[in-house]
Structure 1
Amino acid sequence: MTERPRPLMIGATAADPKRAVFIWNAIRKYFNEAGLETEYALYSTYDALGSAVLDGHVDIAWNAPMAHAQLLLRSPSACRTLAMRDTDEDVHSLIVARADAAIADLDDLRGRRLAMGVDISSELYLLPAAQLAEDGLDVESDCELVELEATEYYNLQRWVDDRTIFGAVLDGRADAGVIFEPWLGYLLRRHELAADDIVEVWRTRPYCHCAFTSGPSLSDDACEQFVELLVAMDPADPEIAEMMRMEHLSKWVRATDDGWSDIMGAVEQADLVGKIF
């Protein structure tokens, strides 16, 4: 009896379980109907997912930038960047301040209160801190870092998010704060602010955010088949359109490792390689 080939296993986290099940059911159905037998597994944390990739239990993982960078660093050339959302390409982290805070550039931040994410947050701490140091500002010695209460998520991890940081800037607990640029429009609308109520003090170089990461055992042919089908998803299909809406994208695009080089460098600089996904 011929052994049946194992389905392609995609892994992701279940930070929002209800949305995650809908999203991955739609993706699994799409691939199966396109002729690529696919299953998915949801993990509680990126640490668990990253270990599953390295151990060969997961062929392709949908990863946050830190987890993706860690896999590229832990298994160079074996783990590869396959694809991302169009909204993950060329994003920035920003330092923002109230227009009345008299902060126009980095020199104005010296001695001021700065709100950032937790020290393992790629876009709200690690990457901005590394690039600010390149520009001559050491956030720990040149600024007063504001301690903010972290939010606990479904997976029991605690993060200081963009909403918390932006709120601290607005209510005066912080003079300025680091946020992920795609959140800015939403935060302005939520607080009924005009664009000129907030000033952009500084921004990182462009980088890429979430990505599909291939595991070490996946062949080039299997990777290419997955990517070809992924980028061919038709947003006119109602089920695909709803999945894309929930995942905040209008199309999937091919990607290479290049967009994560700055994050990888920040992870190495912070001596975090292999310590946390």
Structure 2
Amino acid sequence: MGASSCKGVADAQVGANNPVIIVGCSDYCDQIRTIWDGMKQHFIKAAVEFDFVLFTNYDRQVEALLGGHIDIAWNGPLAHVRTQKRTGGASLSLGMRDVDCSFVSRFIVRKKAGIIDLAGLKNKRLAVGTRDSPQACILPLQFLKSEGVALDTMDVTFFDRDYGKHGDTAVGEIEVMKALSRGDFDVGIVSDMMWQRALSSADVNAGSGEELEVLAAVKVPVFDHCQFDALPTLDQKKKDAFVETLFKMDFAKPEDRRVMQLEGIKEKWVRPREEGYATVRAALSAEPNVPFPPPLYTLENHPFKSFSVL
């Protein structure tokens, strides 16, 4: 979202004087308007004044929340942890989806590469997702570092797609699997969700290209994904109305189920928890606590044998 649009939100006088709950969300997919129009209708039916603002990237969304331009931010895991850091741990966690709990990353290998464990990654060609993707880049690479894998022996290529959306589009992960199937790389990193989708849709292992498999011996620690964040200054009436109405969404009701399924929910919204973000906090611990933080890996600063971005 551009600066003029953000100013428009500010002009709405977010706060106790304005009863409308304004939620910010990242514009990461074609059906995002359908999802949030449905959310808006759910709140309006509950007699809760509600509106939403779409942002082109999470960093700008975080700044809008901190600047008081929106009441609540629907944040991914990086944005959630950065919001907590920027507020000194004072921000409020309001809720998440059931699918956000215990998110899984996978190392996918070409069977012909002969890789059976972490030691086999030495001197290999690694394809990863977008540099700001927690599931397809940041956390798995942090895991390799913690396990003592010799990163300086690996040739690493990042598929930077929709940078700023923190991997939500998963386009980078799709490109990783395509490149592996072509034999361009030995190993790649994707989320288990995208791997399962590729298998079910026959986008991989369909008889053409290299056959791929999960590196079963490698278990990347699970983490939690999206979270609704607010500042501690959020008007109590707004907070209570938002939380109460959100958790009244009922998967058994067709109108609610349609919106929830589009948002990726299996059965329900769930109460917030923080233990699932420990690995994200560790990965971002050395990151500068500033607006619009720079990429963790750049051409000038990286631990790999070689670094490239496609």
Q: Please, what TM-score do these two structures have when normalized by structure 2?
A: 0.78
Q: Which residue of 2 aligns with 1:213?
A: 229
Q: Which residue of 2 aligns with 1:256?
A: 273
Going from structure 1 to structure 2, the CA distance change for 1:152 and 1:192 (only over 3 Å counts) comes to: closer
Q: Which residue of 2 aligns with 1:226?
A: 242
**Rounded Cα–Cα distance in structure 2 between residues aligned with 1:96 and 1:197:** 7
**Rounded Cα–Cα distance in structure 2 between residues aligned with 1:167 and 1:235:** 35
**Rounded Cα–Cα distance in structure 1 between residues aligned with 2:185 and 2:113:** 10
**Rounded Cα–Cα distance in structure 2 between residues aligned with 1:200 and 1:230:** 38
Q: Which residue of 2 aligns with 1:236?
A: 252
Identity %: 28
Q: Is residue 177 of structure 2 the alignment partner of residue 198 of structure 1?
A: no
Going from structure 1 to structure 2, the CA distance change for 1:242 and 1:164 (only over 3 Å counts) comes to: same
1:199-256 superposed Cα distances (whole Å, 9 cap, x missing partner): 3242321110111111342145643442232122112332222212211112111112
Helix, strand or coil for the counterpart of 2:31?
A: helix
2:195 pairs, out of 184, 193, 199, with: 184
**Rounded Cα–Cα distance in structure 2 between residues aligned with 1:232 and 1:219:** 20
> What one-letter code is carried by the residue in structure 2 that aligns with 1:10?
V
**Rounded Cα–Cα distance in structure 2 between residues aligned with 1:192 and 1:94:** 15
The within-5 A match list for 1:1-277 is 5-16=18-29, 18-139=30-151, 141-146=152-157, 148=159, 150-151=160-161, 161-189=172-200, 190-191=202-203, 193=205, 197-201=212-216, 202-219=218-235, 222-250=238-266, 251-269=268-286, 271-276=287-292
**Rounded Cα–Cα distance in structure 1 between residues aligned with 2:112 and 2:95:** 41
1:11-45 superposed Cα distances (whole Å, 9 cap, x missing partner): 112233x5122111111111122232211111222
- Conserved 8 A contact 1:86-1:253: yes
Higher RCO structure, 1 or 2 (CA under 8 Å, sep 6+): 1
**Rounded Cα–Cα distance in structure 1 between residues aligned with 2:148 and 2:17:** 58
- Conserved 8 A contact 1:96-1:178: yes
- Conserved 8 A contact 2:22-2:71: yes
Deviates more, 1:71-80 or 1:204-213: 71-80
**Rounded Cα–Cα distance in structure 2 between residues aligned with 1:221 and 1:4:** 11
> What one-letter code is carried by the residue in structure 2 that aligns with 1:101?
A
1:148-186 superposed Cα distances (whole Å, 9 cap, x missing partner): 4x445898x998611111112221111001111111111
- Conserved 8 A contact 1:15-1:154: no
> What one-letter code is carried by the residue in structure 1 that aligns with 2:173?
D
Instruction: Give the aligned length.
Output: 269
Q: Residue 104 of structure 1: CA displacement?
A: 0.8
**Rounded Cα–Cα distance in structure 2 between residues aligned with 1:160 and 1:211:** 22
> What one-letter code is carried by the residue in structure 1 that aligns with 2:109?
A
Going from structure 1 to structure 2, the CA distance change for 1:60 and 1:34 (only over 3 Å counts) comes to: same
> What one-letter code is carried by the residue in structure 2 that aligns with 1:40?
F
**Rounded Cα–Cα distance in structure 1 between residues aligned with 2:164 and 2:68:** 26
Which of the two has greater helix per residue?
Answer: 1
- Conserved 8 A contact 2:131-2:158: no
- Conserved 8 A contact 1:54-1:216: no
**Rounded Cα–Cα distance in structure 2 between residues aligned with 1:242 and 1:167:** 31
Helix, strand or coil for the counterpart of 2:73?
A: strand
**Rounded Cα–Cα distance in structure 2 between residues aligned with 1:67 and 1:187:** 27
Q: Residue 267 of structure 1: CA displacement?
A: 1.4
- Conserved 8 A contact 1:11-1:61: yes
> What one-letter code is carried by the residue in structure 2 that aligns with 1:198?
E
State the Cα RMSD in Å: 2.7
* Gap runs ≥5 in structure 2: 1-15, 294-310
